[in-house]
């Protein structure tokens, strides 16, 4: 077996252009927007003090995750979490490397513990008092697909819903020129291995081959926004999940 079936019980997203998933969904459907997105993810799930201090990836991931849990009408405290980010907290990495190059002893303790890749999922579990398993993943250009597959694996293996969140924030400083991380975006799904219920079902298949026509997370969201079933070989979304690897996704309404 190399395939997994899960149901998307809730979707969340954040884009600086559109804001939350309902607005992004409307935009993807070509509908007119009635409001301008706030400049930053509100991330109201975080306590106010945390929200002020939290680095961008924490706000992004928590915002999308909270939307997905609310849409799924599930208690976030009970959901194991798989969070993913290609670059993690790149703004902090830039700042830390600059400090280390000039005055290493001036490194900020808070910046250091916020630099860990599991800072977003750590703040999330704190905010919603979740004691379940939590993971933080990266797979370079294959991050979204590889981590989605891992989240579905966890859901099916433990026969319980899993919160999946993926986000990246725009990089800054000299690091930005090298890794080319220009976009800020977050999305989250609550993945339920129980296929009966509302929400589209995903049939996920790991394929040990490069994509013929590579798609990405936006293509998946586009299809989800249009509630289009994507079935069969011609309509399968192929999202690269690493060198010579891809995740084939069929959406079954």
Partner 1 sequence: MPSRIPPLAITAFTATSALGRGREAHLRALRERRGGLRSNDFTDTPLPCAIGRVDGIESVELPTDLRDLDSRNHRLAWLGLHADGFLDIARDAVARHGADRVALLTATSTASIGATEAAYRALDDGRFPAALAQPELHTLHSLGLFLDRIFGACGPCMTASTACSSSAKIFAQGERLIRLGLADAVILAGVDSLCGSVLFGFNALELVSPQPCRPFDAQRDGISIGEAAGFALLERDGDATAPRLLGHGESSDAHHMSTPHPQGLGARLAIDAALARAGLAAHEVDYINLHGTATVKNDEVEAAAVADLFPATTRASSTKGFTGHTLGAAGILEAVIALLALDAQFVPGTLNTTTPDAACGPQLALGNEERALRIALSNSFGFGGNNCALVFGRGAA
Task: Give the interface with partner 1 as residue ranges (CB under 8 A).
Answer: 1-2, 4, 80-81, 86-88, 93, 96-98, 100-101, 104-105, 107-109, 112-119, 121-123, 125-126, 128-140, 142-143, 146-147, 149-150, 153-154, 156-158, 174-175, 177-180, 206, 208, 241-245
| Residue 168: CB minimum distance to partner 1, A | 11
Least CB distance to partner 1 at residue 129 (A): 5
- Beta carbons of 225 and 25 less than 8 angstroms apart: yes
* Least Cβ distance, residue 35 to partner 1 (angstroms): 34
Our CB check for partner 1 shows the closer of 20 and 155 to be 155
Which CB, 34 or 131, lies closer to partner 1? Answer: 131
* Min dist. Cβ of residue 109 to partner 1 (A): 4
- What is the rounded radius of gyration, in angstroms, for the C-alpha atoms of the chain? 18
Paired strand residues for 237: 249
Indicate the residue among 134 and 238 with the shorter CB distance to partner 1: 134
- Cβ distance to partner 1 smaller for residue 25 or 117: 117
CA 66 to chain centre: 12
Q: Which residues contact 97 (CB under 8 A, 6 or more apart)?
A: 175
Smallest gap from residue 70 Cβ to partner 1 (A)? 19
Q: Which is nearer to partner 1, 35 or 106 (CB)?
A: 106
In sequence order, which residues have a C-beta less than 8 Å from that of residue 53 and are 6 or more positions away? 110
Scored b (16 or more CB within 10 A) or e, 117-156 reads: bbbbbbbbbebbebeeebbbbebeebbbbbbbbbbbbbbb
């Amino acid at each position: 077996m190399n395939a997994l079936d899960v149901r998307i019980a809730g979707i969340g997203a954040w884009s600086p252009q559109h804001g939350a998933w309902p607005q992004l969904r409307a935009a993807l459907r070509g509908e007119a927007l009635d409001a301008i997105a706030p400049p930053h993810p509100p991330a109201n799930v975080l306590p106010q003090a945390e929200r002020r201090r939290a680095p961008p990836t924490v706000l992004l991931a928590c915002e999308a995750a909270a939307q997905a849990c609310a849409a799924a009408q599930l208690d976030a405290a009970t959901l194991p979490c798989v969070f993913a980010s290609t670059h993690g907290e790149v703004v902090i990495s830039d700042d830390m490397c600059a400090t280390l190059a000039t005055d290493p002893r001036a490194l900020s303790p808070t910046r250091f513990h916020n630099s860990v890749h599991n800072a977003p999922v750590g703040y999330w579990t704190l905010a919603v008092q979740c004691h379940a398993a939590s993971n933080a993943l990266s797979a370079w250009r294959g991050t979204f697909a590889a981590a989605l597959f891992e989240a579905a694996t966890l859901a099916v293996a433990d026969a319980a819903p899993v919160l999946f969140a993926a986000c990246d924030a725009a990089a800054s400083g000299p690091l930005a020129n090298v890794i080319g991380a220009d976009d800020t975006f977050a999305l989250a799904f609550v993945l339920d291995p129980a296929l009966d219920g509302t929400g589209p079902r995903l049939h996920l298949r790991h394929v040990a081959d490069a994509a013929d026509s590579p798609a990405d997370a936006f293509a998946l969201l586009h299809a989800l926004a249009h509630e289009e079933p994507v079935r069969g070989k011609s309509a399968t979304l192929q999202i690269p999940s690493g060198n010579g690897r891809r995740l084939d996704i069929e959406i079954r309404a």
